[in-house]
């Protein structure tokens, strides 16, 4: 249930790169956080290949297989706001405001087998190109061509949202978890020999606990508790080693969350979150307008004569 007292949401970014953003949300109802997650997954637009015209394909892969792979290639969509959705565009079929054309043409000229990668797709718009990672500059492997085989095709990318097809979602992961509350019993720790303390510290797969080199003290550093994933490994370790009560793991507050968003590379992660919050505000405005309208109509109905209402409704 939404708590009217909790009306002062606070956001704090823990880490942020183009690929991934981690932030905390405090004083927010779980329904709001879940709405944000659903908007992130289904309503942030990006460009993806929607139509493919195969001109020549002598590879071993059938045309529909290649077309499906092309659709799943992330395309840079930093300027997605400049494009129209195809259904909203003024053109009759395709135009530069709603579509971007890409071409691919490769042939294995020698006896050696060659790979065809997403970076081989040549775009007519430099703002919409296959996403490239510095570690894999050729991009995603689409198919392989043996001696003499070739592939030639034209593709058209359009703007869409993940709710209509997952290929349009610029988000590869959007998850949230409650804030963990991890507490240690100092009395039990003081009673443990160093080798037991070491075993306990290493029982946590997320390095929530830290210690000095001699394992004389065990601590949870500021912010490290956010790494906890409620796996209960530490609690199980304590029970198996007859140290019940050594550690307690539970949810801290019902209104505090950690949110993690990962991008496919088509839009920077921070921009995805910003677009999602803007989308949420638009939806809330629509909701407010609708409830205002209903409220106005109820006021009019309430001012009418009761007898008239009964006979008319
Ligand atoms: S519940 Fe799992 S992740 Fe959390 S502190 Fe214990 S062992 Fe570490
Ligand atoms: Zn158009």
**Residue 307 in this model has a pLDDT that exceeds 70:** no
C-alpha–C-alpha distance, residues 149 and 106, integer Å: 9
Residues of the chain above pLDDT 90, percent: 77
Residues 233 and 280 in one domain: no
Could you tell me if the CB of 220 is within 6 A of ligand 1? no
Residue 174 · residue 44 · CB < 8 Å: no
- Residue having the nearest C-alpha atom to atom 7 of ligand 1: 204
Residue indicated by tokens 């790169």: 17
At residue 298 the predicted structure's pLDDT band, cuts being 50, 70 and 90, is: confident
Ligand nearest to C-alpha 93:
2
- Distance from residue 67's CA to the centre of ligand 2 (Å): 22
Mean pLDDT value across residues 274-282 = 95
CA 212 to chain centre: 37
Residue 194 domain flag: yes
Q: How many CA atoms lie within 13 A of 129 on its CB side?
A: 15
Higher pLDDT, 308 or 27: 27
> Is the shortest distance between the CB of 248 and ligand 1 below 6 Å?
no
Q: Is residue 95 located within the same domain as residue 38?
A: no
Question: Is the CB of residue 155 below 6 angstroms from any atom belonging to ligand 1?
Answer: no
**Pair 70, 132 in one domain:** yes
Per-residue confidence band for 214, with pLDDT thresholds at 50, 70 and 90: confident
Determine whether the shortest distance from the Cβ of 233 to ligand 1 is under 6 A.
yes
CB of 208 within 6 A of ligand 1: the answer is yes
In a domain, 221, yes or no: yes
Number of domain units in the chain: 3
Q: Which atom of ligand 1 is nearest to the CA of 207?
A: 8
What is the whole-number distance in angstroms between the Cα of residue 157 and the centre of ligand 2?
Answer: 12
Query: What local confidence, expressed as pLDDT, does residue 313 receive?
Result: 47
Task: Look up the CATH number of the domain holding residue 136.
Answer: 2.170.120.12
Range of the domain at 157: 47-168
Helices 30-42 and 269-303 pack at an angle, to 10 degrees, of: 120
Does residue 252 carry a pLDDT above 80?
A: yes
Share of residues in the chain with pLDDT > 70 (%): 95
Identify the CA nearest to 232 among candidates 254, 198, 204, 257. 204
Ligand whose nearest atom lies closest to the CA of 234: 1
Domain check: are 38 and 54 in the same one? Answer: no
Predicted pLDDT at 309: 53
Residues 27 and 173 in one domain: yes
User: Which ligand number lies closest to the CA of residue 90?
Assistant: 2
301 located within any domain: no
pLDDT at 7 > cutoff 70: no
The reply to whether 80 falls in a domain is yes
Whether residue 104 has pLDDT greater than 60:
yes
Whether pLDDT at 311 is above 80: no
Helix (H, G, I), strand (E, B) or coil at 219: strand
Q: Is residue 228 pLDDT above 70, yes or no?
A: yes
- Which among 119, 143, 168 is the end of a domain? 168
- Average pLDDT of 248-254? 88
Whether 156 maps to a domain, the answer reads yes
201, 232, 236: residue to mutate for ligand 1 pocket, most atoms within 8 A of CB: 232
Residues 94 and 230 placed together within one structural domain of the fold: no
What is the C-alpha separation between 227 and 207, in angstroms, rounded? 7
Residue 306 belongs to some domain of the structure: no
Residue 233 lies in a domain: yes
Atom of ligand 1 nearest to the CA of 230: 1
> Average pLDDT in the 182-196 region?
91
């Amino acid at each position: 249930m939404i708590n009217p007292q909790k009306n002062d949401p606070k956001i704090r970014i823990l880490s942020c790169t183009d690929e991934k953003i981690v932030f905390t949300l405090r004083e927010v109802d779980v329904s709001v956080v879940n709405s944000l997650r659903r908007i992130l997954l289904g309503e942030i637009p990006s460009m993806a290949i929607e139509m493919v015209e195969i001109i020549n394909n002598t590879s071993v892969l059938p045309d529909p297989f290649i077309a499906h792979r092309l659709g799943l290639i992330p395309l840079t969509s930093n300027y997605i706001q400049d494009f129209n959705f195809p259904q909203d565009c003024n053109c009759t079929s395709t135009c530069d405001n709603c579509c971007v054309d890409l071409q691919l043409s490769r042939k294995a000229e020698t006896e050696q087998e060659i790979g065809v990668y997403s970076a081989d797709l040549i775009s007519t718009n430099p703002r919409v190109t296959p996403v490239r990672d510095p570690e894999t500059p050729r991009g995603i492997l689409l198919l392989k061509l043996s001696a003499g085989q070739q592939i030639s095709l034209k593709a058209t990318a359009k703007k869409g949202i993940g709710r209509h097809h997952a290929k349009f979602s610029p988000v590869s992961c959007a998850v949230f978890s409650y804030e963990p509350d991890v507490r240690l019993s100092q009395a039990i720790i003081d009673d443990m020999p160093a080798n037991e303390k070491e075993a306990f510290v290493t029982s946590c797969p997320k390095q929530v606990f830290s210690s000095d080199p001699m394992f004389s003290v065990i601590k949870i550093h500021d912010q490290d508790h956010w790494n906890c994933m409620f796996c209960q490994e530490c609690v199980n370790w304590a029970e198996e080693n007859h140290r019940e009560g050594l550690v307690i793991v539970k949810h801290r507050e019902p209104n505090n969350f950690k949110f993690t968003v990962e991008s496919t590379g088509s839009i920077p992660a921070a921009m995805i979150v910003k677009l999602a919050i803007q989308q949420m505000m638009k939806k809330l405005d629509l909701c407010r307008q609708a409830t205002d309208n209903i409220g106005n109509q109820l006021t009019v109905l309430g001012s009418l004569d009761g007898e008239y209402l009964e006979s008319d409704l």
